[in-house]
Structures are given as C-alpha cells and as structure tokens.
Amino acid sequence: MDIFLQLTVSGLSTGMIYALAAAGFVVIYKASDVINFAQGDLLLLGTYLIFLSVAQVGLPWSLGVAVTLLLAVAVALAVERLVLRPLVGEPIISMIMVTIGLSSVLRGVTGAIWGPNPRSFDSFLPAGDIVLGPATLSTARLLSIPIALAVLAGLGLFFRHTRDGIAMRAIADDQQAALSMGISIPRVFGVAWGLAAVSAAIGGIMLAGIVGVSPNVASIGLRVFPVVILGGLDSIAGAVIGGAVIGLLEVYVGFYVGHGLNLVVPYVVLVLVLMVRPYGLFGKEIIERV
C-alpha cells in the first residue's frame, strides 16, 4: 500500500509537469490551430534557463524563477514574431512544419551552450521527505502538484474570463468573424505563445528541481502528444486529466507490469484514443444544430 501511495504521488507529479507542457500546447492550438512540435523543447529551455540563472549566474531562487519566465517569454515572442507571424495566412501545415524545425533549433542551441551532459544543482523545492502513514514521500514531488494545479487553474480562468482569453477562443471558432470585431490576430497569437512559454517554463523549473537538468528533458516533451490526444487538443482541463492519467499509467505499468513498458504505454493510449474518441475526453465536438 505504501508503495502504491509513493507511486501515485510520483506519477501525479510527473503527470502535472506533462500537464503544464500540454497546457501550453493547448493554448497555441486553441488560438491558431497550430500543432506546436516544439512544446517539449520549451520545457527543456525552462530547465536550462533556471540552471543558468540560479546555478551559473547565482541569482536567488525567487529572482531566478522570475528571470527564467521573462527569458522564456522573450524567446517565445521572438519566435512568434520572426518565424510564425510571417506565415500567418499560409496553410497551417507550413506553420506546423516550422515548429518541427524550431524544435531542432532549440535543442541544438541549448546543446551548444550547455553541452550533452546532465547537470545537477540544489533544488529550491525542499529536499526532505514527508512521512505519511506508512509511505515516505518526496516533498519536492508532493509540492509540485499544487503548484502545477494552481498554474493550470489560472490558465483555465484566463480563457473563461479575460478579454484576450475570450478573443483566443473566438479566433479558434471563426477567424474572420473575430477579425470583424476588431480582434487583433497578431496580438492574440503573441499572447498565446507567451502563455505557452510561461506554462512550459514553470514545468521546466519543476523538472529541474525534481530530476535535474539534461538534454533528455526534451523527450519528456514528446509525452505531450499522448496527453493532449487523451485530454482533447483544445481543453486545459483535458490537459490536467490527460497528464495525470498518463503520468500514473507510466509508473503503475513500470512497477507492476514490467520496466520498459512504461515507455510504451502512453503511445498505446494515444493509438486507442484516436480509434475510439478522436477529439479526446474533453475536446470540442462539432456542434450541429438540429
């Protein structure tokens, strides 16, 4: 039982990091229909930026986090402005292909700056353990769950209640109608990329605290796809649920079924969902009036 509890906490904390990366993906998809293959690399960027600002420059944690978020947003806005905006109006597939290129570039640049070896540094998340009944749980992992949930809830509220959030969903529904009410598409795309970067960077910061800094983080980013396919490409709530399910499945399968299978199971889920419910658990169905 205590093992089960430990697995659950570990799975959920990983799952919430998936959810943060997936939420950024959802934001961009919602606003612009672009499938951002570079989302995992934004996560990677987050881990290296926090490493840079805290371990290398020596900023205190709070400042380091702020600098990381600012830099991540700056990178995302630059990418949006220089790479994606010139493609607005071109077929969506062009933009999607560009994000694949972007992914390689981000990976290459971080690799060139920080090298291929894993780095470690002291996490700002408390290092100790919490003993909960029979189980011993890592405080860092436990803490990352509420942090991620708070960020995700914030994103959800943003979509529901703010002017830019509503504008984003409006664009997703009918771009020309959105234009006709004076919604500025470049501005909204910029906001979407900025938010995606913030969400991924927070995921990256937590990853840096939990598993350390290494180029392998980008492969965690690949886990975004099963998460968003399961949750629905355009749903923040779906990203949370999808993240939790995939994170839990990985650890349970890895422990109870067989090590190694945990790497496969997310993609099995992906294929199953695509067969049964292609718009995901919470994805938007096409509304048909009868």
Instruction: Verify binding: residue 284, another protein, rule CB under 8 A.
Output: yes
Selected binder of another protein within 170, 237, 248, 265 (CB under 8 A): 170
* Least gap, CB of 173 to another protein (angstroms): 4
Confirm or reject binding of residue 157 to another protein (CB under 8 A): no
Counting contacts by CB under 8 A, is residue 181 touching another protein? yes
Beta carbons of 44 and 204 less than 8 angstroms apart: yes
**Using rule CB under 8 A, residue 262 touches another protein:** no
Q: Between 122 and 174, whose beta carbon lies closer to another protein?
A: 174
Least Å distance, CB 24 to another protein, is: 20
Q: Does 198 bind another protein (CB under 8 A)?
A: no
Q: How far apart are the first and last CA of the chain?
A: 51
Beta-ladder partners of 136: 131
Provide the H-helix boundaries in 175-235: 175-180, 185-210, 217-222, 224-231
Site for another protein in 79-118 (CB under 8 A): 89
Among 112, 116, 180, 260, binds another protein (CB under 8 A): 180
Binding-site size, another protein (CB under 8 A): 22
**Six-digit token pair at 75?**
């990178």
Q: Please state the closest distance from residue 101 (CB atom) to another protein, in A.
A: 26
Name the minimum Å distance from CB 267 to another protein: 29
How many whole angstroms separate alpha carbon 48 and alpha carbon 64? 11
Residues 6+ apart with CB under 8 A from 68: 46, 49, 50, 53, 201, 204, 205
Which 3 state secondary structure label does DSSP give 258? coil
Give dist(CA 84, CA 182) in Å, integer.
Answer: 21
d(CA 17, CA 64): 19
- Compute the least distance from the CB of residue 89 to another protein, in Å: 7
State the residues that interact with another protein by CB under 8 A. 89, 163, 166-167, 169-170, 172-184, 284, 287, 289
